[in-house]
Amino acid sequence: MSLNEKIKNESEEKKSLPSERIYAWKDIRTAREPRETQTERRLLELKKSLNEKTQSFFKLTKIFFKDHWNLLIKSAAHNHLRIQECKRRPELGETCNLSFESYSHLKKYQKKFRLFTYSFSSTLASILIAVMALQIFFPGNNIQGATYTWAQNTWAGGADEITTATHNSNKTGWTKYFSKDANITAGDDVKLNAVAGSFVDTTDTDFNAQAKTNVYVTGSGDAGAVFALKPEGGACTDASQCNTNLICSSNVCYSPWQNSPCGVQVYKEDSTGGAGAVWKTSQTVCVGPQCVGNLLVDDNSIDFSAYTARNLCKAVDGRLATRAELLCIYTNRASLVGAWSAAAYWTNEQSSADPTDAAFYRRFTDGTEAQGLKSGLYRVRCVK
């Protein structure tokens, strides 16, 4: 190798060293980037490229339609000047992508474009008019719905698995059927065949195992017996021996409700035992739906589980008396059936002065009305 060639090679190697060093440093920097950063950077570059291409596409499309709209409605001279102007002065914002070699070339292109546009538009309009005309003058077959009725009131014609009824001929008067089970009788009507049977009950267990209507069972084992429910005034040992809506008191069945001069019916006995019942299970204000204002409502579909006294009256289809009704009952208590305890009876009203803690009651010892804690135990006499 000559001295000149050696010097030349050394010179070329020196020139290549900086770029190689730069390239190596770039590779090191890229290699040190986290994988997430590289992915994010590439996604941003891809998104940017996609946005640029999309904007470019819409821009070119807009220019295309604008150029051809002008060709369609403007003269060839106007379009020639416009194209020359937008090419000469693009900074004014006027853009176009049409280019013609000469004015005559522009006129030929415009003529062909107009001819194509007008022909295509005319053809499309003719097709639409023809379709509309066909629909108007030749509507064709329309699909329509129909409602059919079928009446059969006898099956005396018997079973027939071959002959079938038709709508036109057998809307009425059809008497046949396809088939039936052996336990069905078909004639002028269709009914299940009766099945005869018998059984013998001899004990209270047998009697109670069957559905009972207007009877009650007494005794045990073979000593069991069935009796009719007792009417009002009949002897009884408990309410299960009395007719519906009657109670047993002093071994006599009678209606638990009695008329009164107070405008309400009054229950013939207290709905609580000797201990009494609380007005409410907690010392809190009564609000809807159980109360309207300070009064318990009459609607027995409401849940009164937290209002013990009111719930007792709900159980007998009644309610608590108002303050005025309870005063009237106290005044006329001697004429009403049922023993009255020398105790206080609840009303349906909570105290307006202290609705959280207190409700009204009336003492049947002296007729005095007072307010007591809702958790107090007082008697309950229901009305309706």
Q: How confident is the prediction for the chain on average, in pLDDT? A: 84
| Mean local confidence (pLDDT), 302-322 | 96
**pLDDT surpassing 50 at residue 22:** no
Count of structural domains within the chain: 3
Give the tokens for residue 138.
């030749």
346 bridge partner residues: 361
Domain range for 330 is 264-383
* CATH at 333: 3.10.100.10
Contacts of 71 (CB under 8 A, 6+ apart): 79, 98, 109, 110, 113, 114
pLDDT bin (cut points 50, 70, 90) of residue 302 is very high
pLDDT at 10: 56
Question: 0.85 cut: is pTM over it?
Answer: no
pLDDT at 170: 83
pLDDT bin (cut points 50, 70, 90) of residue 2 is low
In a domain, 375, yes or no: yes
pLDDT, one tens digit per residue, over 345-384 is 999 999 999 999 999 999 999 999 999 999 999 999 999 9
Same domain, 109 and 47: yes
Same domain, 268 and 375: yes
The number of C-alpha atoms within 13 Å of 368 and in the hemisphere containing its C-beta is 7
* Secondary structure in 3-state letters for 82-104: HHHHHHHCHHHCCCCCCCCCCHH
Q: What letter represents residue 207's amino acid?
A: F
In a domain, 305, yes or no: yes
The span from the CA of 76 to the CA of 70, in Å, is: 9
Same domain, 244 and 300: no
In a domain, 149, yes or no: no
pLDDT bin (cut points 50, 70, 90) of residue 95 is low
More confident residue, 265 or 46: 265
| Mean local confidence (pLDDT), 117-133 | 90
Same domain, 237 and 316: no
Q: What is the percentage of the chain residues whose pLDDT exceeds 70?
A: 88
Q: Which residue, 337, 342, 335, 330, is CA-closest to 378?
A: 342
Lowest average pLDDT, out of 65-74, 289-298, 324-333, 349-358, goes to 65-74
Same domain, 274 and 355: yes
